[in-house]
Structure 1
Amino acid sequence: MSIKPEYFVYFLVFILSITTSVAQNGGVEITGTIIDTQSKQPVEHATITIKDSKTQNMITGTVAGEKGDFSITTDALDIYVEVSFIGYKSNTIKDISVANGKVALGTILLSEDKQLLDEIMVVGERSTTEFQLDKRVFNVGKDISSTGMSALEVLNNVPSVNVNIEGQISLRGSTGAQIMIDGKPSVLADEQSNALGTITADMIEKIEVITNPSAKYDAEGTSGIINIVLKKEEKKGLNGSISVNTGTPDNHSVGISLNRRTEKFNLFAQLGAGYRSLPRESESINTDLNNNTTVNSGGTSYRNETFYNVILGTDYHIDAHNVVTLSGNFAYEIEDQPSSINFSFLDDTNSLVSAWRRDETTEATNPKWQYDLQYSREFKDNEEHTLLFNALGRFFGKDQASEFENTNISGTEIYNDQQTETKFQQADYTFKLDYTRPFTDKIKIETGAQYVINDVGNDYAVRDLVEGEWIPDDDLTNNFEYDQKVLGLYGTGAYEGDKWGIKLGLRMENTNLNTLLTNTNEANSQDYVNLFPSAHTSYKFTELFSLQAGYSRRIYRPRLWDLNPFFNIRNNFNIRTGNPDLQPEFTDSYEVTGIFVFGKASLNAGVYHRYVTDVIERVSRFEDNVNTTTPLNIGTDKTTGFEVNAKYDPVRWLAINGDLNYNQFNREGDFENQSFDFEGDRWTSRLTTKFKLPAQFDLEITGNYESGYQTVQSQVADNAYGDIGVRKKMMEGKAVINFAVRDIFASRIQKVTTEQPGFSLYNEDFRGRFVTLGFSYGFGKGEAMTYSGGRRR
């Protein structure tokens, strides 16, 4: 057993302070308080040493108390005081002024020694990655927890996880993973809040990565789960960040995030406001192959948005085993959506028959709110013996009015001006109870229930201007009501030995869905019960190589907009609509993954197979040069592929992260006497290179490639694009300037070609280059948030 050097120093100073105090009958009393320069928190256990000014030998010493205060007595007069603590720069005080036998040094500031912290590598306390049945666990060691970095930067060290320079998180190359804190949802983990920047590395115990969720989790499809597990100690003081961002196209915001942690409370708040604009250029060509007529359309649309956001919440630690969390989020958005689309109609000789312009003016207000009440209990017999209750409520409203004005440019074709009006309200409620009970160190069960309510109303009206009068279009006007309730019950049992483990689970979900078009009294009701089994196993061959295999059954329920039969008529020659009769699709997912760790590199490689039934695909119907796309359930899909994620840090200033996903698929299905059977393949890749440059500059370059692929009716073109970002840290990491360019070559263009008997379609969408510039200042123990500007959604 070895004794850490700092413990030996504490012991020596403690013995000296006792012996000198016993020997002294008087002398000079020296007092003071040791405070951290950045966090303004006391530095307990700091070492105070009294030294002889001539010989520099130690005379006596003591250790600061819990509040950073100290008192020490000495007979010597020609002295100086030295204050030190591991990880901090020493502070020497030579100007000693004695008054009435006392020296009051007041507040003594200690600042962290970043260089020293970077060099601290405690053997046996380095960060490690291990397999645990249905998840991979990244244990945060001293090599990371002592650095003061934010949670986003810690995530960037986790295999399979990447955080770009703007703070967007991806898991195995795919965004959209659910982020949780201590196994439960949190507004701090909400990607839109960016509040993860207020959680520092020394608060984090481990990070769990789940790529194929077990029956414990909602059966609704997800790209994975990332769970951040915090340490039990809560005396962390005040952490926060202030940010100011700008960009082009317009992307301006200001915000402040705060997180105050004490023994009993964790208080967090965020305030934000801003304005952003999202332009989109589009082009469409609709050709009727029966009479060879064509309608061309193209133009630019905008979504301009002014937004305000407030987040408030607290964790209250009733005692060491019970925690209550209450949080709320309110947002208000004001939208302005102008667009201008030019149309031209060509006859069978490709001659222009008519041309016109369709201008849109749309205004909308969107109130949003969310509340979250959680109670967690950790039983005294085992820290993994837990009970968790969660109640979550969300509301989203939209009050929108649009006007479409058609201006004739040439020819005699005249189209009516139109108006639309939307009153939309959506309320979602989730109630969840989870219970975990370990029977031994190797055997554990989990059980629980979840009830989800989705209640939506969408009142949609269309009016045509006929001879100066607005006439309702009854075919396009209706009120759509959507009511879905899902009850889920689950149970899992697991055995986990030193090398091998297995976990089996079963989830039952009852779905009750009712939709109604109130004006026409068209109703659709669905009530079904499904079972979702899961099985996971893992085997650790060595400390550097492990294998994990898993199976789960998942469901994708049609979203509201897939079911709602009415959609925006911005371009009334290319209309998207929903299908109230749409059924859910089911996926059986099989996966085998290996993790390899060798030297400065880590590699995650896996093979997978997915079998999907009742696949939801959008199908085009064509009439009078009008293309209407509707989602339909068409057949099955069998997909087999492999996925590789690699991280390599050859030197301290260079990090390389690569993702590759390739799969082959087989589609089988029929609809309206038409066969949709076909085979194809698809692959995506991403390579991110990060450079640590002098003067605390970071450079990040990302390249992406998405291959072309076939759908039931269309061919999607391939796509290649790149992003670049530069970050400059200042003030020992407390301030950060970010500059980023997304789609630097303006090459991210979506092109879809459809060739079918009787018609052909070509559609192109382009959003263009985005440039953002942001400044963040962090206070407390963490660094400034590495996020710059609002991400585009």
Structure 2
Amino acid sequence: MKQILLSKILFTSIISLTTLFFSAKAEPVSEASGITGRVVDQSGGETLPYATVAVYNSDSTLVDGGITDETGRFTFTLPPGNYYMEVQFVAYNKEVVSNIELSTRREQLDLGTIALSSSATDLDEVTVTGERSEMVIGVDRKVFNVGADLSNSGNSAAEILDNIPTVAVDADGNVSLRGSGGVRMLIDGKPSGLVNAGNAEALRALQGNMIERVEVITNPSARYEAEGMVGIINIVLKKDQRKGVNGSFEGTVGLPQRYSAGANVNFRREKVNYFINYGVRYSEREGSGFSDQTFPQANPPFSTRIDNERNRSGWSQNLRGGMDFFLTPTATLTAAALVRFDDEENLGSVRYSDFAQDSNEPFRISERVDLETEMERNMEYSLNFEQKFSDHEAHTLNAFVQYMEDSETEESDLTETVLLGADADEQLFQQVYNKEQEENWLFQADYVHPFGEEGRLEAGLRSELRNIRNPYEVEELENGNWTALPEYTNNFSYDENVFAGYLQGADKFGPVSVQAGLRAEYSDITTFLEQGAVKNQRDYLHFFPTLHTTYHFSTYNAWQISYSRRINRPHFWSLNPFYGFSDSRNIRTGNPNLEPEFTDAYESGWVYSTDNSSIYAGIYYRHTSDVIERISYVDDNGITYSVPRNLAERHAYGAETNLSFSPLKWWDLSTNFNFYRMQTEGVFEYNEQRMDLSADTYSWDTRINSRMRWDNDLSFQTTFFYRGKQETTQGKRLPFYMLNATFSKEVLKGNGTLSLNVRDVLNSRKFRYELNQPDLISVNEHRWSGQEIRLTFVYRLNQKNLGRNGGNGGGRDEGGPGGEEGF
């Protein structure tokens, strides 16, 4: 009750103080003249979000400009005068609105509905000018239109994410944002098996041809689930609702062996829109690495050199389809289904060379070979109902239900052979069976009720019911018989039920936009380890306030302040007491006793956007309690275990800038720079030893993207990424850099694109880190994959090249799907 009361007081106080402070300064809206309107599709009447709107005075000088919001609306505050306006959007003809006259200071002119006609069937007569923005900066998010990035041709979702500013994907496929883990991954704003937590291969299997854009939300509002310590990454899949048949087809060949094909097709009738996405991929990916380990506290002390090689190969297929039923002009029912199949064979080898202290010759060498077959099936079914009420276009009700089933089976045959030593030629045979089955139900409803000119109230409910079953068995061949190893055999189950509700309000007071919300989430989590009948059940209720404020100096110049409270619940693999047996000397395990992390995040930034550039400069601070950190330690048998533990707390400070501009008409540049400091406090005790895990580190990363376009429809793009050294709680992560290059040529009169992508031009994509503890000193280097060369061809049916039309080098986003319209 005390927590509820404090949350209510905080929520009420923030709204009251912010409103009083800004409304005292704000000039009433009615004191300034301006124009407003809405952009729609001429044939179907659908709204067109992210359309470019530019306002000029009578001598053709640009006065103002911006991007339409999610409902297709735009608003500009202008002094009295005569103007004209140009409206553009991807694959549509430009519309010019002339003779706009504002005669008085208080005049508010509603231009009504501006309909754009599709130009998809008239490609021969269209002159392509401008460039769709790769990055659109919003109040609570950054939107990356991945189709505009040439280097994304033929890439997987993991590779696309690794090419987005402030996002990084490591050698294990783990995603981090602004240097920190704990990112919540969503598909179309919802959880999905395509990016299931703990399954790095899922991101690699999701083909980029299915992806429309990626939204990075660093400080989400109350309408989003509170999961995700450093924010949310939302992958939006492609779907089109224009009438007729349209789509795109893509094929890729590459070295090392990589073959893929995909199609995105839409067919729109009067009352029904059909959409389907399909992708198939075969790839072979080789990786390697080493680890030099020293054990100074062993008796006697010794060191080990571990060399590993792996080759992952196999097929992956994704099929997604559905229908939009336009029940009435204001009601839409969408049914969709998704199926994903993976069939892989993975061969890995680990060689151990053991050295006595101060010796250069090994006294023992052994090799462990793991032949693994992996099959995964993911199926999802969803039903979404949207009702737009006739009194106001922002007055909406959205209800959603989704069922997901995921099954993954891994079977391994392991052989360990002693190559040198007293027990030379001895062999050990083991086999591992691991099956993970998951079922997930999601129910969600969101209601938006507008009031006044720009205010709105939002409310929603959400329930997610999830259960996972994971039988795991390790057997060893003894005297011709397979015998289970009890210490590595168990049947683990995980049940998670989360029930949530939120209330959120927003309004605009002159140049000031204010939005505040409060979200409540009740979690009921139970784990059960069949071996020993160990049950661990916990439930907790928490409240998560959020606040977003924006001061609009003009339509394209704004200052933002935001706050949110977040949670990171330990996921299945973090709680599972055992997993991973390929490397018998380095074992990763989970911890059923982990507690959730909580983060209070603060952010302030300045946004400036024009028709050909955008700038964001901001600072942020995060305070996290019960930090989950993976700790490595050595047992009495010389086996290294990596186990997640709750530490004390962490403070993270940072400054980030994003800049996108065009120094020349044919040259686009964008860059990102992120500098941060992290202070971590904590200790770890084991075997009567106490390990100090405190760390204070400064680090930075940057990404520079250059794209040149010439009149012969040839483009050249380079992307350079650098991540600096970072001190960790047990050692340090070493610097990392990479360069990608892409050549692209428009063919078939603009209907096709041929691109050559060279990934990791400098052959530098190596992940290196060091551990320095009393019982373990380790130097490590791993490669996810080596250099890659890919040739991709894309053919568009009744579509323009989305990467070469309909926008500009930058812009400001007023929201996104489920986003904050106008804030």
TM-score normalised to structure 1 length = 0.77
Which residue in the other structure is 1:494 paired with?
A: 506
Query: Offset at 1:143?
Result: 6.4
1:775/1:746 Cα in 2 relative to 1: closer, same or farther (>3 Å)? same
1:597/1:310 Cα in 2 relative to 1: closer, same or farther (>3 Å)? closer
Q: Which amino acid aligns with 2:392?
A: N
Q: Which amino acid aligns with 1:459?
A: P
SS at match of 1:216: coil
Which residue in the other structure is 1:280 paired with?
A: 287
Query: Offset at 1:625?
Result: 2.9
Note if 1:466 corresponds to 2:459: no
Does the aligned pair in 2 maintain the 1:435–1:447 contact within 8 Å? Answer: yes
Which residue in the other structure is 2:750 paired with?
A: 733
Matches of 1:437 and 1:701, distance apart in 2: 46
Q: Which amino acid aligns with 2:585?
A: F
Q: Which amino acid aligns with 1:173?
A: T
Note if 1:338 corresponds to 2:347: yes
Query: Offset at 1:137?
Result: 11
Matches of 2:592 and 2:770, distance apart in 1: 27
For 1:405, which of 406, 412, 415 is the aligned residue?
415
Which residue in the other structure is 2:134 paired with?
A: 156
Q: Which amino acid aligns with 1:142?
A: Q
1:144/1:503 Cα in 2 relative to 1: closer, same or farther (>3 Å)? same
Note if 1:541 corresponds to 2:553: yes
Does the aligned pair in 2 maintain the 1:476–1:566 contact within 8 Å? Answer: yes
Does the aligned pair in 1 maintain the 2:247–2:263 contact within 8 Å? Answer: yes
Query: Offset at 1:482?
Result: 0.5
Which residue in the other structure is 2:258 paired with?
A: 251
Matches of 1:140 and 1:406, distance apart in 2: 70
Question: Which structure has the higher relative contact order (CA within 8 Å, separation 6+)?
Answer: 2
Does the aligned pair in 2 maintain the 1:131–1:546 contact within 8 Å? Answer: no
Q: Which amino acid aligns with 2:722?
A: Y
SS at match of 1:254: strand
Does the aligned pair in 2 maintain the 1:400–1:422 contact within 8 Å? Answer: yes
Which residue in the other structure is 2:770 paired with?
A: 753
Does the aligned pair in 1 maintain the 2:413–2:431 contact within 8 Å? Answer: yes
Mapping of 1:34-183 within 5 angstroms? 128-129=66-67, 141-142=87-88, 146=92, 154-156=132-134, 158-159=136-137, 160-162=142-144, 163=146, 164-167=149-152, 168=160, 172-174=165-167
For 2:620, which of 589, 594, 608 is the aligned residue?
608
Matches of 1:186 and 1:264, distance apart in 2: 28
Note if 1:393 corresponds to 2:403: yes
Matches of 2:769 and 2:735, distance apart in 1: 10
Matches of 1:359 and 1:704, distance apart in 2: 35
Note if 1:428 corresponds to 2:428: no
Note if 1:703 corresponds to 2:711: no
User: For each residue in 1:345-379, what CA deviation from the matched residue of structure 2 results, as whole angstroms up to 9, or x when unmatched?
Assistant: 11224232111221111112211111111001001
Matches of 1:422 and 1:746, distance apart in 2: 35
Does the aligned pair in 2 maintain the 1:509–1:531 contact within 8 Å? Answer: yes
1:195/1:178 Cα in 2 relative to 1: closer, same or farther (>3 Å)? farther
For 2:797, which of 779, 785, 791 is the aligned residue?
779
Which residue in the other structure is 1:656 paired with?
A: 669
Q: Which amino acid aligns with 1:408?
A: V
Which residue in the other structure is 1:550 paired with?
A: 562
Q: Which amino acid aligns with 2:655?
A: F
Matches of 1:198 and 1:161, distance apart in 2: 10
Matches of 1:385 and 1:565, distance apart in 2: 48
Mapping of 1:362-761 within 5 angstroms? 362-413=372-423, 414=426, 416-597=428-609, 600-623=612-635, 624-672=637-685, 673-761=690-778
Matches of 1:188 and 1:667, distance apart in 2: 33
SS at match of 2:390: coil
Query: Offset at 1:153?
Result: 6.9
Matches of 1:171 and 1:436, distance apart in 2: 32
SS at match of 1:567: coil
User: For each residue in 1:430-488, what CA deviation from the matched residue of structure 2 results, as whole angstroms up to 9, or x when unmatched?
Assistant: 11000000122232110001111121011000112223322210000000101101001
Query: Offset at 1:166?
Result: 3.8
Matches of 1:681 and 1:347, distance apart in 2: 37
SS at match of 1:475: helix
Note if 1:312 corresponds to 2:307: no
Query: Offset at 1:579?
Result: 0.8
User: For each residue in 1:226-283, what CA deviation from the matched residue of structure 2 results, as whole angstroms up to 9, or x when unmatched?
Assistant: 698999x955321111221111222111222211123322211123322112222021
Matches of 1:415 and 1:188, distance apart in 2: 39
Which residue in the other structure is 1:26 paired with?
A: none
Does the aligned pair in 2 maintain the 1:235–1:262 contact within 8 Å? Answer: no
SS at match of 2:801: coil
Matches of 1:774 and 1:274, distance apart in 2: 13
Does the aligned pair in 2 maintain the 1:198–1:240 contact within 8 Å? Answer: no
SS at match of 2:488: coil
Aligned length: 657
Q: Which moved more, 1:713-722 or 1:415-424?
A: 415-424
1:249/1:707 Cα in 2 relative to 1: closer, same or farther (>3 Å)? same
Query: Offset at 1:784?
Result: 7.8
Does the aligned pair in 1 maintain the 2:216–2:234 contact within 8 Å? Answer: yes
Does the aligned pair in 2 maintain the 1:539–1:546 contact within 8 Å? Answer: yes
Which residue in the other structure is 1:13 paired with?
A: none
1:198/1:748 Cα in 2 relative to 1: closer, same or farther (>3 Å)? closer
Q: Which has the larger radius of gyration?
A: 1
Q: Which amino acid aligns with 1:534?
A: T
SS at match of 1:683: strand
Cα RMSD (Å) of the superposition?
3.4
Does the aligned pair in 2 maintain the 1:736–1:784 contact within 8 Å? Answer: no
Query: Offset at 1:680?
Result: 1.2
Which residue in the other structure is 1:357 paired with?
A: 367
Matches of 1:509 and 1:615, distance apart in 2: 20
Does the aligned pair in 2 maintain the 1:254–1:274 contact within 8 Å? Answer: yes
Which residue in the other structure is 1:293 paired with?
A: 302
1:180/1:750 Cα in 2 relative to 1: closer, same or farther (>3 Å)? closer
Does the aligned pair in 1 maintain the 2:151–2:741 contact within 8 Å? Answer: no
Does the aligned pair in 2 maintain the 1:333–1:366 contact within 8 Å? Answer: yes
Does the aligned pair in 2 maintain the 1:287–1:625 contact within 8 Å? Answer: no
Does the aligned pair in 1 maintain the 2:384–2:398 contact within 8 Å? Answer: yes
Matches of 2:711 and 2:379, distance apart in 1: 44
Does the aligned pair in 1 maintain the 2:193–2:378 contact within 8 Å? Answer: no
Q: Which amino acid aligns with 2:321?
A: L
Matches of 1:608 and 1:463, distance apart in 2: 50
Query: Offset at 1:324?
Result: 0.4
Percent sequence identity is 27
Q: Which amino acid aligns with 2:801?
A: E
Q: Which moved more, 1:311-320 or 1:157-166?
A: 157-166
1:479/1:742 Cα in 2 relative to 1: closer, same or farther (>3 Å)? same
Q: Which amino acid aligns with 1:393?
A: Y
Q: Which amino acid aligns with 1:146?
A: Y
Matches of 2:353 and 2:670, distance apart in 1: 47
Q: Which moved more, 1:542-551 or 1:313-322?
A: 542-551
Matches of 2:209 and 2:259, distance apart in 1: 18
Query: Offset at 1:779?
Result: 0.3
1:567/1:740 Cα in 2 relative to 1: closer, same or farther (>3 Å)? same
Matches of 2:193 and 2:246, distance apart in 1: 16
Does the aligned pair in 2 maintain the 1:642–1:662 contact within 8 Å? Answer: yes
Matches of 1:242 and 1:262, distance apart in 2: 21
